[in-house]
Every structure is written in C-alpha cells, then in structure tokens.
Amino acid sequence: MIKTLAVIGVGLIGGSFSRALKAAGAVQRVIGFDLDSENLTEALQLGVVDEIAADYASAVSSADLVFLAVPVRAMTAAVAACAPYLPAGCVVTDGGSVKEELVAACEPLMPEGCHFVGGHPIAGTEHSGAKASFATLFQGRRCILTPTSRTDQQALELVQRLWEAAGSRVECMEPLTHDRVFAAVSHLPHMVAYALVHAVDRSAEEEENILAFSAGGFRDFTRIASSDPSMWRDIALMNRLPLLAVLDRYQQEFAALKEKVAVGDGAWLENYFTTSKRLRDEII
C-alpha cells in the first residue's frame, strides 16, 4: 500500500501502528524517530521499526506517509519540524486524542503538494513506550478521522485504507464534535479515575495504608489512572472547554447522588443504579 512510513514518536500508538501495518503487509519499510533515544533503540531492537533516524529531516525525507504519535501539545511543533523536509505528495497524519486545535494548526503547515489528515485511534492501554506496542491493538476498534474543507480526498482515502489494514473501523467526524464526544467518553473517565485515587488516598490519613486493601472494584475502576501523566496533562489542557463542560455535568450528577445518600432515599438510589446498569450493559 505504501513503500516508506515514517513514525514520529515510537511509543504505544506509533509502535502499534507500525507493527500492525508491517503484519498486514501494507508497508515495506518503517523509519522511526523519537526524542527518547533509549526508547528508539529499543524500538529497533524489538523490530517495531526497520530503521531509526537521528532527526526529523532524515526520518521524513523519503516517506510516503508520516504518522505522528507524540503527546498532543508537542504535535504541532513536531509537524512544523518535519514540514520543510517532506517530499512532494507526502501524506501526514496523527494519532492524537484531541483534534480541533491540532488540526487547525497543522493543516496550514503543509508545503505545496503535501496533505494533512487528522486521526485518532480509539484504542489504547495504560502502558507507554515502544515495548508496550503490539500489532493487534487496533483490531476491531474504531479510528476517527477528522477531515475539514481543506482535506485532500486521496490523502483521506489512503489514511482510511491504512487504518483498515491495521484492523480498524474508520469513521469521520468534525474535529469539534470529536473533541466533545471524547471529552465525555474518554477524557472525563480518566479525570474521575485520577481524582478517585486521590480521594481514597486522602482517607488513608485516618486509616493506615488503606489502598493496600483495595480489591477488584477499585482496581478495575482505576486501571486508567496508571496512564502516562504527561499525556493526560496535555489532553486536559488542549481539550479544556469540552472537558470543563462534562466535568460540570459530572459534578451535578455526583451532587445529586450525594444528596440522596444523605437523606437515605433508597428507591431513588436503586432506580438510578438500575438505569446506569442498563446503559452500561447495552455497550458491553
């Protein structure tokens, strides 16, 4: 499908995209570049990429497609650093978790004849780095592409075909719609998980080492609080307004729940939990 893929940021997502396309026979050669040289060397040793580059220029100068998978607030500067070295016809795409600001900043950076397509695979784990990457991460998972009026149709089709080769179901969304949807179903749960760990830890001021007693419920709920802190700092800052809107809604729900516990309204609580169970069971 393509001859040379450059992956900028060879971590969980960049590494898994490379592995998936290599496994599907959709790419001949993958060149990786990462600011963390230890991670980059490990990516080469593990066969995640075929070659490693010393800088952005040598990573992208022979690429048909560039895939950026760095933290969202580093993305625009990384695209700008690659832009002067992109060969004519090159397609640039990303896997960042926030889209509107990023797509608006990256599209105008493309030199004549090169095209940017915003993307976001809806798959991940709480682990980071090339060593955490695996070829089947995107199998059966959604990938959202966020074309705009400036998007080149052929570039969009190429990126769609590559995600399909990686095993994903591709859907297109407006960048702002994307940010609102994922503020609710992805970014809010991460904020709640991070806060829950703090809340329980603070109860430990009264009881010795309370976290050590945690079992399935706490562990299932807070798995995602083990995710990379700098990645989630970037997502919270870049998707600030949509995230604040869902944090407000969450606070309202939580205040209502607290009130009903306080007054001992069992019927309300049972009804509330029944609705939650039905809604969650429907998506599993």
Ligand X SMILES: O=C(O)C(=O)C[C@]1(C(=O)O)C=C[C@@H](O)C=C1
Ligand Y SMILES: NC(=O)c1ccc[n+]([C@@H]2O[C@H](COP(=O)([O-])OP(=O)(O)OC[C@H]3O[C@@H](n4cnc5c(N)ncnc54)[C@H](O)[C@@H]3O)[C@@H](O)[C@H]2O)c1
Q: Do residues 256 and 222 make contact, with C-beta atoms less than 8 angstroms apart? A: no
Q: How far is the CB of 283 from ligand Y (least distance, A)?
A: 18
Q: What contacts 139, CB < 8 A, 6 or more positions away?
A: 166, 167, 168
DSSP H stretches of helix in the chain: 12-23, 37-45, 56-60, 72-82, 100-106, 153-165, 175-182, 188-203, 216-222, 229-238, 240-263, 266-283
Q: How far is the CB of 125 from ligand X (least distance, A)?
A: 5
231 touches, from ligand X, ligand Y, none (C-beta below 5 to 8 Å by class):
ligand Y
Strand order in the sheet with 65-68: 51-52, 27-33, 2-8, 65-68, 91-94, 115-117
Q: How far is the CB of 55 from ligand X (least distance, A)?
A: 27
Q: What is the dihedral of CA 181, 185, 191, 192, to 10 degrees?
A: 140
Q: How far is the CB of 68 from ligand Y (least distance, A)?
A: 8
In this chain, which of 4, 5, 6, 9 binds ligand Y, going by CB under 6 A? 9
Binding flag, residue 210, ligand Y (CB under 6 A): no
Binding flag, residue 231, ligand Y (CB under 6 A): yes
Closer of 14 and 147 to ligand Y (Cβ): 14
Interface characters, 81-120, with ligand Y (x: CB under 6 A): --------------xxx----------------------x
Q: Which stretch binds ligand Y (CB under 6 A): 2-10, 146-154, 195-203, 248-256?
A: 2-10
Q: How far is the CB of 223 from ligand Y (least distance, A)?
A: 11
Q: What contacts 247, CB < 8 A, 6 or more positions away?
A: 188, 191
**3-class DSSP state for residue 139?**
coil
Residues that bind ligand X (CB under 6 A): 97, 122-126, 186, 224, 227
Q: Do residues 93 and 116 make contact, with C-beta atoms less than 8 angstroms apart? A: yes
Closer of 170 and 231 to ligand Y (Cβ): 231
Q: How far is the CB of 206 from ligand Y (least distance, A)?
A: 34
**3-class DSSP state for residue 199?**
helix
d(CA 60, CA 129): 21
13 touches, from ligand Y, ligand X, none (C-beta below 5 to 8 Å by class):
ligand Y
d(CA 152, CA 247): 36
Q: Which stretch binds ligand Y (CB under 6 A): 35-43, 145-153, 193-201, 252-260?
A: 35-43
Contacts with ligand Y, residue ranges (CB under 6 A): 8-14, 33-36, 39, 69-72, 74, 78, 95-97, 120-121, 124, 128-129, 228, 231, 235
